[in-house]
């Protein structure tokens, strides 16, 4: 009896001056003044984010087309079961016909060398998503660049992994993701020089624009790998702003500049990270750190 009264009270919950606000994520409606959730005005949870979600036909469609698939997700598929729509087995002649259909369907997907090349390259690009924690937008951009390269006839005589790694590196730079050529080469198990060479080739032939990397993100990334304190990170960003004012960054390798700034910040904060430790994490040589440190110490006092 008490439970029935509680349910009736919950149904009658309302405010005098209700200003209803709906939450699309939780599907609830609540009052802006008092915060009471209105159970009689709960919105239906629409899991389908398609623009035609009101149409029930969209619930039965397959995957959307994507540049990351060699056939863009529009290929046919002939099943391997010899049954019709009602579940009855096919007769002997129809089984032979279905066998030939499966054979030609599999052959039509890779009917020439360019299609097989594209299929292998997109598989290699897709492997980098999990290894480097890349987003779907970067993957789509990488696939678009590779397709554009193949259409321009720039892949012939070059390594598939080298061109694919260069496309991923360009996409990472355009999407402001801090991934180096060394990271990509180690994940693809491809020579670093091959990726760098193909990157220069694509840059010249596809008329791409230079996108300068964000050094602050590079400083934070190396600092996190070194497990430094927040005080050192703030000091490194302050040193970076001073060096940037004197225009000492142009033409320098971003990883070398970030490693040098972290080394200088460690001296300023008293943490004293060694050049050898920083070079192991960042992948640059200690000689490069020393040379940049001598140049930057003229503008930043370390003691």
Last residue of some domain: 176, 205, 234? 205
| 105 three-class SS | helix
User: What is the reported pLDDT for 47?
Assistant: 46
User: What is the reported pLDDT for 42?
Assistant: 52
As a three-state string, the secondary structure of 135-154 is: CHHHHHHHHHHHHHHHHCCC
User: What is the reported pLDDT for 52?
Assistant: 44
* 195 and 236 housed in the same domain: no
Q: Tell me if 38 is assigned to some domain.
A: no
User: What is the reported pLDDT for 121?
Assistant: 87
- CA separation for the pair 265, 284 (Å, rounded): 17
User: Distance of alpha carbon 108 from its chain centroid, rounded?
Assistant: 31
Last residue of some domain: 173, 205, 237? 205
Spatial contact of 146 and 122, defined as CB atoms under 8 Å apart: yes
User: What is the reported pLDDT for 102?
Assistant: 82
User: What is the reported pLDDT for 39?
Assistant: 67
* 266 and 235 housed in the same domain: yes
Residue-range definition of the domain harbouring residue 276: 215-296
| 6 three-class SS | helix
User: What is the reported pLDDT for 262?
Assistant: 93
Going residue by residue through the chain, which has 303 residues, state the pLDDT in tens, using 9 for 90 and above.
Answer: 444 434 444 444 455 566 777 665 566 777 766 767 776 555 454 444 444 444 444 444 555 667 777 666 556 667 777 887 788 888 888 888 888 888 877 666 666 777 788 888 888 898 888 889 888 899 999 999 999 998 898 988 899 999 999 999 999 888 878 788 888 999 998 999 999 999 999 988 988 876 667 788 889 889 999 989 899 999 999 999 999 888 888 778 888 999 999 999 999 998 889 999 999 988 889 999 999 999 998 888 877
CATH number at residue 149: 1.10.472.10
* 194 and 255 housed in the same domain: no
* 198 and 220 housed in the same domain: no
* 157 and 120 housed in the same domain: yes
- CA separation for the pair 183, 283 (Å, rounded): 10
User: What is the reported pLDDT for 31?
Assistant: 75
* 185 and 259 housed in the same domain: no
Last residue of some domain: 150, 175, 205? 205
């Amino acid at each position: 009896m008490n439970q029935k009264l509680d349910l009736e009270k919950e149904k009658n919950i309302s405010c005098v001056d209700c200003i209803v606000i709906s939450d699309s994520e939780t599907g609830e409606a609540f009052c802006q003044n008092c915060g009471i959730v209105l159970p009689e005005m709960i919105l239906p949870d629409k899991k389908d984010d398609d623009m035609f979600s009101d149409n029930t036909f969209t619930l039965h469609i397959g995957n959307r087309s994507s540049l990351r698939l060699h056939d863009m997700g529009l290929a046919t598929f002939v099943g391997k079961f010899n049954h019709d729509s009602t579940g009855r087995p096919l007769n002997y002649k129809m089984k032979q016909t279905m066998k030939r259909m499966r054979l030609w369907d599999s052959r039509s997907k890779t009917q020439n060398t360019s299609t097989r090349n594209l299929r292998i390259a997109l598989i290699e690009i897709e492997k980098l998503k999990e290894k480097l924690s890349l987003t779907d937008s970067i993957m789509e951009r990488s696939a678009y660049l590779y397709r554009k390269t193949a259409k321009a006839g720039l892949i012939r005589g070059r390594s598939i992994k080298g061109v694919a790694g260069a496309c991923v590196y360009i996409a990472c730079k355009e999407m402001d993701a801090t991934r180096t050529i060394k990271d990509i080469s180690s994940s693809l198990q491809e020579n670093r020089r091959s990726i760098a060479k193909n990157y220069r080739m694509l840059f010249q032939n596809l008329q791409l624009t230079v996108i300068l990397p964000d050094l602050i993100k590079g400083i934070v990334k190396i600092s996190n790998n070194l497990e430094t304190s927040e005080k050192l990170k703030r000091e490194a960003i302050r040193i970076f702003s001073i060096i940037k004012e004197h225009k000492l960054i142009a033409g320098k390798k971003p990883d070398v500049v970030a490693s040098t700034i972290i080394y200088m910040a460690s001296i300023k904060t008293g943490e004293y990270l060694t050049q050898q430790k920083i070079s192991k994490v960042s992948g640059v040589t200690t000689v490069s750190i020393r040379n940049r440190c001598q140049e930057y110490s003229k503008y930043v006092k370390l003691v």
